[in-house]
Structure 1
Amino acid sequence: MQTSFLKITAATAALCFSTLAMAQQNYSVSGTVKDKKNGELLIGVSVKVSEDPTINVVANEYGFYSLSLPEGNYTLIISYPGYRDFEQQIKVDQNIKLDLPLLPAETEAKAIDEVVITGIKKDKNLTSAQMGAETLSIKNIEKLPVLFGEKDVMKTIQLLPGIKSNGEGSSGFSVRGGATDQNLILLDEAPVYNASHLLGFFSTFNSDALKDASIIKGNSPAQYGGRLSSVLDVKMKDGNNKDYNINGGIGLISSRLSVEGPIQKEKSSFIVSGRRTYADLFLKTNKDYKDNKLYFYDLNLKANYQINENNRIYLSGYFGRDVLGLGDTFNTDWGNTTATLRWNSIISSKLFSNTSFIYSNYDYKISLKNDDTVFDLNSKIRDWNLKQDFTWFAGNKHSVRFGLQSIYHTLTPSSASGTTVSSFTRNPRYSWENAVYINDDYKATEKLTINYGARLSMFSVLGGDTFNTYENGVLTDSQFLEKGKFGKTYVNIEPRISANYRINEVSSVKGGYSRNTQNLHLLSNSNSGNPTDQWIGSSYTVKPEIADQISVGYSRNFNNNNYELNAEVYYKDMKNQIDFKNGAQIGFDTGSDVESELLFGKGRAYGLELIAKKKSGKLTGWISYTLSKTERKINGINNNEWYNARMDKTHDLSIVATYQLNPKWSFSGLFVYSTGNAVTFPTGKYELNGQTIFQYSNRNADRMPAYHRMDLSATYEPSSNKRFRGSWTFGIYNLYGRENAYTINFEDNPDRPGTTRAMQTSLFRWVPNITYNFKF
């Protein structure tokens, strides 16, 4: 029976493919799209056919495109934001391999064979089925005012609707009601588990080393998985394969330097980019602080080699570390290491392959010493990852992505040793996460585009430790699983679909549904996050988090697509959400199983997101606004009723503007306002053994004060020669000196015995910055 079924299936498939081949009789036009000046592959370039407006293919994230055409003469129309649009005349009478070089928009117009400058509309928001997605321009990021003058991808995405900052100066963020750990952050496909420096005031991403950054809020295609709320996909530059360049910047507390160039001209290239703060150098000028440490450094490296016209390999890495120390009494350091080895292969004119081997490691160490007292704490998470991805341009209407991913996780929970506490060591916990996926971007009609697919995820608990089972914090079972043995396995199917309908030339509507699951969870007791927050995996007690999201949107462009308005509403239902029980014991001086302090329940988030953009002219920028609600319901918390999640903020407003006064001077500014974070304040107190004990009522029933500030910056670019360019950036963070609350603590009022006073801590009032940037 089984043999007959296989024969029938094979015969049916052969018949379908042979019929398709006979009916099609088209030729393929395919190749890569590159920056003409430096050879960088460009992502998301639009390739249209003038003679058939229904044909519009987009280059994938590795710069490869493919389209099918009958025999004849055609005009290809190529466009990409920040680059000069042009038309390419072609004659199709066979399969054609055509690489397309694009000139940056600021490049002087020159005579180019078969290239004509045109003005193509920028209407991607009206044609793409992808919802809740934004691609960030690294060039625009450079001009925005930020804390300490450091251009920062993580700070910039917090100015978009639906994405909320976790605190003053923090690079941590929440998306559509999700926690910080529910964001998948990728650097050249490697997951980054702590994307911040100096407790969140800087991000791990040095913009000098970056080519592209995009964020997707929940409705991600099936090739992404493992997190509930968003994907931040950051890609490093490949390196200039035509000429050597050096660029960098010198600021008040940090400096950076990048070197890139060809290894073998137009065939291979490299980039090395480093950054370091030097606040610790100023400490050494004071004898009371000369032994203290306060700095971070990071290093980005990447190289690539073109084996032949169809095969290229890439090797990239990131190394970053934070060091904080108070003499010999206190020392802590934490950091990330990632490495990615990729092989891009053009298998045929329609099939593109990307094979990646990925390593990621995050760890922290803490050491306390006082006379004969010693205390050490450490933890880490390490991944080995294999990813195989295919892009199949099945025709002008179908772009199919399919592949698999396999990750071997090693999580070492917080382990302590020393003389002040009983030493407790934790066995590493091992797990194996696998997924297969398929996704199709389908242009059903000239007006309707559908993106649909599914992801099958599997997470297996592996042996090597004792696993306890708890119900509402009470131990019900315990078992030791030998190393190498398979324990509990969770299997989830994750369907995804979104659609875009073009109403007319200037407007469109969108809708989508997606399911995401998450098997790695971050245990944190603060909004902004700390380096010592602990990652755990799904286990016998902790189940995979699941989120179902539906969203509907409307887009409209004005004035020849120079103005853009986008609106989305969403509802997200979340299962197996995690929170600490009341009075949880989460100190470092206990070796108890942290899972015994957890409770589980459900969550919901819903809201409205608006963004209006001005995309051309001397004045550009956007206004974004989010109205939202985020709640949790967990038995054992808040009398089993719904309560505000920590990241709940009703209102969130951002106004961003950049003005190009003349070729030398540009100005930028931003204003942000948001409802204060949900917190729990004491409602009463009593005295016990001479100490004041505060009583608390409902979880997160109170609010921090509203947050708002204004930042301004100016950039001066003097005249420069062809080889050397320099610029000065002047800025001020928090222009009108708003003392925003970072924390509020309660204590007995010494001036009025028997009463309590609230003590607010504010971090930054005015922070000026000056940075000199150079490139040659």
Structure 2
Amino acid sequence: MQISSFKIAASIAAICFSTVVFAQQNFSVSGTIKDQRNGELLIGVAVKVAEDPSISINANEYGFYSLSLPKGSYTLMISNPGFRDFQQIINVEEDIKVNIQLSQEEKETTTNIDEVVISAVKKDKNLSSAQMGTETLSIKQIEKLPVLFGEKDVMKTIQLLPGIKSNGEGSSGFSVRGGATDQNLILLDEAPVYNASHLLGFFSTFNSDALKDASIIKGNSPAQYGGRLSSVLDVKMKDGNNKDYNVAGGIGLISSRLSVEGPIQKERSSFIVSGRRTYADIFLKTTDDFRDSKLYFYDLNLKANYQINDNNRLYLSGYFGRDVLGLGDTFATDWGNTTATLRWNSIINSKLFSNTSFIYSNYNYNVSLTSNDNTFGLDSQIEDWNLKQDFTWFAGNKHSVRFGLQSIYHTISPSSASGTSISSFPRNPRYSWENALYINVDFKATEKLTINYGLRLSMFSVLGGDTYNTYENGMIIGSEFLEKGKFGKTYVNLEPRITANYRINEVSSVKGGYSRNTQNLHLLSTSGSGNPTDQWIGSSYTVKPEISDQISAGYSRNFNNNNYELNAEIYYKSMQNQIDYKNGAQITFDTAADVESELLFGKGRAYGLELIAKKKSGKLTGWISYTLSKAERKINGINDNDWYNARVDKTHDLSVVATYELNPKWSFSGLFLYSTGNAVTFPTGKYELNGQTIFQYSNRNADRMPAYHRMDVSATYEPTSKKRFKGSWSFGIYNIYGRENAYIINFEDNPDRPGTTRAMQTSLFRWVPNITYNFKF
């Protein structure tokens, strides 16, 4: 027995010793990857080793990479879309740092690159990545697509992808895989944006001139993301050119924009300032009826960074945006976002990267009405203070581990009304503390199998400072006052997530995944497209965290040396603690009624098929996406306690997008959209009471708006110029064949045929031309 134990111990010691010896024979090769032209750190760049094709990693979102190699000579192969492929020979005899600068492809030389092997690295990411339901958007690609009023828009572009559906004409709100608008986590430099739209949804808050990267993840997000059920839209601002000063901008029919960037201290620190404003109100002043009206928005993006030394860098970024709408002295409303992020990047050692972020976010709105001597005011606010500590550990060429924590202090000021014609009731702010711990592992198990798995522990605590009622089916069953600073109800949830990719061969792969997400902030909306005055509430004694469980599977195949791509995914998502208003809910502001008394809770489900085919190279590029889906809710007290269509349910959704490069000066683009109409509730009968017509309604969301479809086209003229100053013209027509798509359908008594009812359709746009002059120097 002793001999056996000795042999076992000796064997374990030998294994450990051999592991240590093996580890000692490996050295770290690490560094950062930048854009040679402006010093911008590049995200997700592919790094391979020519001598060992099994070694393939991607730089993180801060441009840092790390791999392990035995002693010897190697050739690093670096590849990133839009940049020239790069090779560098290195001699590894100890841990070394290799910082890399990539040069951008010039327009006329893009087709001349013949390094086929390296080019394939960047074109088959859909086959090798374990992450599902993810799309990274090219800002250059966004700039070429035709959109409303000529404003290039990230939010509008993602709605052309499968599984992501627009909430209506001109709206920047969107739903993902059957989820509501508030179930999308929208981040700008890590700061949450609670209302990402301008002018009631016709523009988004994101000015493309200030952006570096944007990615959308549909439900299967890694564990570092949390707080929403359906998707993550992660948008990152440019760092600013640290080598030279640049000015860029555009002048359009109703808006203009201007960006300035440059070094503070050359190649050590930089800044960018980007602003935008509409001037539709200027045209209103030329009319007698609207001379005193206001209708505009502005936004301002600011960012600066400072490289302390080779291993440490500080970033400070901010966003300020506001909408102003008013009709003389009778009506005025304004709403807007403010965000700020202070971030410290630190390369702790050749394998460990740290990112510490202090984040502030604020969204608020104000409404005022004046009629004779009567006044009415309404306001609300949600404010966050956020600390996030994130580590990335490059454990080896096959392992990378991401772990950290996040802590958010929420202050939600509910809609509060005041005025001379109603009883004022200022409502107390409600405080809550949301925390999370997470770990996520990216593991290349074999040459063909890659797995991404993680776990997130989320905790949400109701804090004191207000009275919390408990309701059951709208009836109060309890009440508790919490003193400020006291802890109330705490919800704790574990969120496991896993996705896997199996590479069948060089041109195809299959994927599968499961994820659980929880959400503790909820948006109460009375419209499908969302309004600035929609109200945010947090989980409480009555409102429980929303929970979703999603399973998905996919197949990807590339053709013609990865120049064509086909991706298909199916999914099923079940949702708990879904929220909807009860029938006949009274949402008024002249009493102190608790809005939670008007809510009912139940479950939801969504399932569907998503297809997208892409052509990625050549003069003609673009994609065709199609979604076949169903989204339903089942809430006791609604629709006889049976399943009913969710407001966001659309059976069919089709997008066709194409861009054609005629020559170096002229390019053309177009898109066609078709979707099933939104689910709505139309009246089925009526009766008259005291001289007024009262409409009766049947099942919730049992009817449909008419099908939506339109076609947009645009052309860009960019004359060649050897000077520093470059200008271009963009021309476009939105809704070229003049389809009158329904925005609202109202029902009223028909004055021409007493006793009957007529439906009156309101449409927003037929033909909308745009001309924009863009410049940079």
Shorter-chain TM band: over 0.9
1:79 alignment counterpart: 79
Q: How many Å apart are 1:82 and its aligned residue?
A: 1.1
TM-superposition CA deviations, 1:116-159 (whole Å, max 9, x none): 99543410000000000000000000000000000000000000
- Partner amino acid for 2:163? G
- Partner amino acid for 1:73? S
**Residues 120 and 562, structure 2, Cα contact 8 Å, conserved in 1:** no
Whole-angstrom CA distance in 2 between matches of 1:726 and 1:17: 64
**Residues 416 and 424, structure 1, Cα contact 8 Å, conserved in 2:** yes
**Residues 87 and 118, structure 1, Cα contact 8 Å, conserved in 2:** no
1:718 alignment counterpart: 719
**Residues 550 and 571, structure 1, Cα contact 8 Å, conserved in 2:** yes
1:565 alignment counterpart: 566
TM-superposition CA deviations, 1:235-288 (whole Å, max 9, x none): 000000000000000000000000000000000000000000000111111232
- Residue correspondence of structure 1 range 137-536 to structure 2 within 5 A: 137-536=138-537
1:49 alignment counterpart: 49
2:29 equivalent to 1:29: yes
| Pair 223,474 (structure 1): closer, same or farther in 2 beyond 3 Å | same
Q: How many Å apart are 1:722 and its aligned residue?
A: 3.6
- Partner amino acid for 2:292? D
Whole-angstrom CA distance in 2 between matches of 1:584 and 1:361: 29
Greater displacement, 80-89 / 470-479? 80-89
- Partner amino acid for 2:66? S
| Pair 146,15 (structure 1): closer, same or farther in 2 beyond 3 Å | farther
- Partner amino acid for 1:432? W
2:69 alignment counterpart: 69
Whole-angstrom CA distance in 1 between matches of 2:88 and 2:758: 71
Q: How many Å apart are 1:381 and its aligned residue?
A: 0.0
CA-based RMSD: 1.5
TM-superposition CA deviations, 1:85-113 (whole Å, max 9, x none): 12111111111101111111117879xxx
Structure 1 unaligned regions, length at least 5: 1-12
Whole-angstrom CA distance in 1 between matches of 2:18 and 2:57: 24
Structure 2 unaligned regions, length at least 5: 1-11
Q: How many Å apart are 1:17 and its aligned residue?
A: 8.9
Q: How many Å apart are 1:590 and its aligned residue?
A: 3.1
- Partner amino acid for 1:729? S
Whole-angstrom CA distance in 2 between matches of 1:487 and 1:228: 24
**Residues 219 and 229, structure 2, Cα contact 8 Å, conserved in 1:** yes
- Partner amino acid for 1:103? S
Give the TM-score of the pair, scaled to structure 2: 0.96
| Pair 288,60 (structure 1): closer, same or farther in 2 beyond 3 Å | same
- What SS is found at the alignment partner of 2:462? strand
- Partner amino acid for 2:211? L
Q: How many Å apart are 1:609 and its aligned residue?
A: 0.1
Whole-angstrom CA distance in 2 between matches of 1:489 and 1:415: 26
Q: How many Å apart are 1:18 and its aligned residue?
A: 8.0
TM-superposition CA deviations, 1:416-441 (whole Å, max 9, x none): 00011111111000000000000000
- Partner amino acid for 2:23? Q
- What SS is found at the alignment partner of 1:120? helix
Whole-angstrom CA distance in 1 between matches of 2:364 and 2:443: 42
Whole-angstrom CA distance in 2 between matches of 1:72 and 1:85: 23
| Pair 118,457 (structure 1): closer, same or farther in 2 beyond 3 Å | closer
| Pair 473,502 (structure 1): closer, same or farther in 2 beyond 3 Å | same
2:7 alignment counterpart: none
**Residues 569 and 607, structure 1, Cα contact 8 Å, conserved in 2:** yes
TM-superposition CA deviations, 1:164-188 (whole Å, max 9, x none): 0000011000000000000000000
Whole-angstrom CA distance in 2 between matches of 1:46 and 1:608: 30
- Partner amino acid for 2:210? A
Q: How many Å apart are 1:589 and its aligned residue?
A: 2.9
1:7 alignment counterpart: none
**Residues 623 and 656, structure 2, Cα contact 8 Å, conserved in 1:** yes
| Pair 137,323 (structure 1): closer, same or farther in 2 beyond 3 Å | same
**Residues 79 and 118, structure 2, Cα contact 8 Å, conserved in 1:** no
Whole-angstrom CA distance in 2 between matches of 1:16 and 1:366: 71
Whole-angstrom CA distance in 1 between matches of 2:75 and 2:616: 27
TM-superposition CA deviations, 1:550-572 (whole Å, max 9, x none): 00000000000000000000000
Q: How many Å apart are 1:740 and its aligned residue?
A: 0.2
- What SS is found at the alignment partner of 1:208? helix
**Residues 84 and 104, structure 1, Cα contact 8 Å, conserved in 2:** yes
- Partner amino acid for 1:524? S
Whole-angstrom CA distance in 2 between matches of 1:19 and 1:181: 53
2:58 equivalent to 1:58: yes
TM-superposition CA deviations, 1:29-53 (whole Å, max 9, x none): 0001100000000000000111111
Q: How many Å apart are 1:504 and its aligned residue?
A: 0.2
4+ long deviations beyond 2 Å: 13-23, 107-110, 115-121, 587-591
Whole-angstrom CA distance in 2 between matches of 1:273 and 1:642: 47
Whole-angstrom CA distance in 1 between matches of 2:289 and 2:505: 69
TM-superposition CA deviations, 1:553-607 (whole Å, max 9, x none): 0000000000000000000000000000000011233321000000000000000
- Residue correspondence of structure 1 range 502-651 to structure 2 within 5 A: 502-651=503-652
- What SS is found at the alignment partner of 1:628? strand
- Partner amino acid for 2:50? S
Whole-angstrom CA distance in 2 between matches of 1:325 and 1:54: 62
Whole-angstrom CA distance in 2 between matches of 1:753 and 1:116: 74
Q: How many Å apart are 1:19 and its aligned residue?
A: 7.1
- Partner amino acid for 1:71? K
Whole-angstrom CA distance in 2 between matches of 1:341 and 1:119: 36
Whole-angstrom CA distance in 1 between matches of 2:54 and 2:422: 70
- What SS is found at the alignment partner of 2:120? coil
Whole-angstrom CA distance in 1 between matches of 2:329 and 2:346: 53
- Residue correspondence of structure 1 range 645-664 to structure 2 within 5 A: 645-664=646-665
| Pair 400,178 (structure 1): closer, same or farther in 2 beyond 3 Å | same
| Pair 108,707 (structure 1): closer, same or farther in 2 beyond 3 Å | closer
Give the TM-score of the pair, scaled to structure 1: 0.97
TM-superposition CA deviations, 1:298-352 (whole Å, max 9, x none): 0000000000000000000000000000011100000000000000000000000
Whole-angstrom CA distance in 2 between matches of 1:688 and 1:120: 72
Count, aligned residues: 760
Whole-angstrom CA distance in 2 between matches of 1:175 and 1:250: 33
**Residues 627 and 650, structure 1, Cα contact 8 Å, conserved in 2:** yes
- Residue correspondence of structure 1 range 729-748 to structure 2 within 5 A: 729-748=730-749
Whole-angstrom CA distance in 1 between matches of 2:201 and 2:20: 55
1:90 alignment counterpart: 90
**Residues 85 and 117, structure 1, Cα contact 8 Å, conserved in 2:** no
| Pair 145,634 (structure 1): closer, same or farther in 2 beyond 3 Å | same
- Residue correspondence of structure 1 range 7-26 to structure 2 within 5 A: 20-25=19-24, 26=26
Greater displacement, 368-377 / 451-460? 368-377
- Partner amino acid for 1:91? N
Whole-angstrom CA distance in 2 between matches of 1:709 and 1:376: 39
**Residues 86 and 116, structure 1, Cα contact 8 Å, conserved in 2:** no
**Residues 84 and 117, structure 1, Cα contact 8 Å, conserved in 2:** no
- Partner amino acid for 2:638? I
- What SS is found at the alignment partner of 2:200? helix
- Partner amino acid for 2:524? L
**Residues 458 and 492, structure 1, Cα contact 8 Å, conserved in 2:** yes
| Pair 700,267 (structure 1): closer, same or farther in 2 beyond 3 Å | same
**Residues 87 and 116, structure 1, Cα contact 8 Å, conserved in 2:** no
- What SS is found at the alignment partner of 1:240? coil
